[in-house]
Structure 1
Amino acid sequence: MRTIVITGGTDGMGGALARHFLTVGDQVAVIGRSRAKFDALLSAVGDPSAADRAEFVAADLSLVADSRRVVAHLTDRYEQIDALVLAASFIRNRRHITTEGHEASWALFFLSKFILVIGFAAALRASGRSVIVNTSVPGAKADSIDFDDPDLTQGFTFGKSNAQQRRANELLGILATRDNPDLSYVTWGPARLVRSSFAGDVGIGMKLAATVLAPLLGQQPADAVRPLIDLIDNPAPGRAAYRGPKPVPLVVGPHDKQDAIRLDDLVRTNARGA
């Protein structure tokens, strides 16, 4: 029985993955904000034994303190983690500051992932055949990170914020596989729109896409995550990137290793104990 940890695992693609792995008999820890959605997910599995193999960890992953608490709790509970799926999402098209002083999108979409990936490193290594799936769409430009102002206090735009998070998560893969060469680290995005409840504070354009276009043109979450199930069941050591089932090239910058180390230093220095 494998141990699968899923952030954002109560709804959407994360929820579809949680249902699948509970159905096939794995142990699943779901990190999310809604206990009611988790209970509904368990009911949808339809297997009484699922409750014994499932755990809900309530957390707001835009907060560094909550991310660190999750790491402490799950590393105390599980000596081995076979798969870590990073799927938590809350889209913002405006700059928002958390109570800890971080830009909220940077905190949720990168700082929390950094904390979990680094914090679970020993448990992932103990698996011997572990995988991290980071639902951060690959392909951002190599120079997308503002190392001098990662909270984007100057010149914030949704596009700049989004590209910075995505590039940072690709560099995180360099850090993760550097110390665990047997680890599979995959940055992944769906091939097209996905039908799911939309969590976010966004403008009219995104709301239109979420409420109108996705139901008409999007795929069901269970269909969208089928390529992810295969990647988790058959992990290949090293870094890779996919859009849906299709592998795409990793972005290679002129100073990737140095940038990864610089990012590591930046987070450890400025993320209030991350």
Structure 2
Amino acid sequence: MKTVVITGGTDGMGKALALTYLRRGDQVVIIGTSAAKGQAVLDAAGTFGGGARIEFIRADLSLVAENRRVIEQIAATYPVVDVLVLGAWFYRAARFVTSEGFEANFALFYLSRYLFGHGLVEQMEASDAPVILDLAGPGGDLAGIRWDDLQFARAYDADAVMRQCGKLSDLLAVGFTRRHPDSRIRYVLLHPGLTATGFTGQYDAASAELVAGMRERGQPVEAALTRILRHLDHPPTAPLSAFMQDNRIDVYGEPFDHEAADRLAYLTTTLLRTANTSGM
């Protein structure tokens, strides 16, 4: 029996993945902000006998302190974590700063992934075949990163923020493999394709219209789930791999530059150390 942890596990692809693992007989931990959505997953699990093997942890993962609380809870309860799926995502048309002083998208889409990946290393190393799956958008140009304004304090652009967070996920994965060079953990970056999920967020009129069109064009969740499980069930042998739908992306090229990954890792540890929260 595997232990599977899913951030953003109460909706869309995360929910579908959680229920799939439960049907297989595995233990699943889902994290989300909505008590109602969490309860809906628990209720669905109960219909086929999976209720005893699922735990819902309610948390706002845009807060560093909440990430640390949840990570400590998981580490204390589950000595082994086999699969970690990083799927927390929330679109904000307008800039929002958390109580800890971080831009909310940067905190949720990037910092949460950083904290969970590094924070559960010990539990994942205890697994026979540990894998981290980051649902983002691998590849792209490093030139899109605002190194002097990572949190878009100037000229906020929601779409640019989300694209940059995807790029930061790439560099986070590179930094992870450099920080843990002897790890058995397989880190997989995956964009499963445009999918008709909930697209949770706070939208203005223009972005809401765009999202409505994306829902209409998106593939069913089941199609994305097939791609996701392909990599979780049979992870690549390389420490780091990336895929855009079914196409492998070269993780040794310029978009995965080691110096840029080291730069981001330094900036991240500095931010976490100096922010209104304890350092990691």
TM over 0.5: yes
User: Within 5 Å, which residues of 2 pair with 1:5-24?
Assistant: 5-24=5-24
Task: Rate the CA distance shift 1:112–1:213 in 2: closer, same or farther, 3 A.
Answer: closer
Task: Rate the CA distance shift 1:128–1:147 in 2: closer, same or farther, 3 A.
Answer: farther
- Counterpart in 1 of 2:122? 122
Task: Rate the CA distance shift 1:212–1:260 in 2: closer, same or farther, 3 A.
Answer: closer
- Counterpart in 2 of 1:92? 92
User: Within 5 Å, which residues of 2 pair with 1:75-224?
Assistant: 75-178=75-178, 179=180, 180-192=182-194, 194-214=195-215, 216-224=216-224
- Counterpart in 1 of 2:41? 41
Aligned-pair identity in percent equals 35
RMSD over aligned CA atoms reads 2.0
Counterpart contact for 1:4–1:81, Cα < 8 Å: yes
Contiguous gaps of at least 5 residues in structure 1: none
Task: Rate the CA distance shift 1:108–1:72 in 2: closer, same or farther, 3 A.
Answer: same
Distance 1:254 1:241 in 2: 11
Distance 1:46 1:75 in 2: 25
Residue type of the alignment partner of 1:30: I
Distance 2:17 2:256 in 1: 35
User: How far off is 1:36 after superposition?
Assistant: 2.2
Distance 2:206 2:132 in 1: 32
Distance 1:88 1:34 in 2: 12
Distance 2:159 2:36 in 1: 33
User: Within 5 Å, which residues of 2 pair with 1:224-263?
Assistant: 224-237=224-237, 238-250=239-251, 252-253=253-254, 256-263=257-264
User: How far off is 1:20 after superposition?
Assistant: 0.5
User: How far off is 1:76 after superposition?
Assistant: 1.0
Indicate the larger mover: 106-115 or 41-50.
41-50
Indicate the larger mover: 126-135 or 180-189.
180-189
User: How far off is 1:151 after superposition?
Assistant: 1.6
Task: Rate the CA distance shift 1:201–1:255 in 2: closer, same or farther, 3 A.
Answer: closer
What is the TM-score when the length of structure 1 is the normalising length? 0.91
What is the TM-score when the length of structure 2 is the normalising length? 0.89
Counterpart contact for 2:189–2:242, Cα < 8 Å: yes
User: How far off is 1:190 after superposition?
Assistant: 2.5
Indicate the larger mover: 154-163 or 63-72.
154-163
Counterpart contact for 1:140–1:251, Cα < 8 Å: no
Task: Rate the CA distance shift 1:24–1:154 in 2: closer, same or farther, 3 A.
Answer: same
Counterpart contact for 1:140–1:167, Cα < 8 Å: yes
User: How far off is 1:46 after superposition?
Assistant: 5.0
Indicate the larger mover: 59-68 or 177-186.
177-186
User: How far off is 1:61 after superposition?
Assistant: 0.7
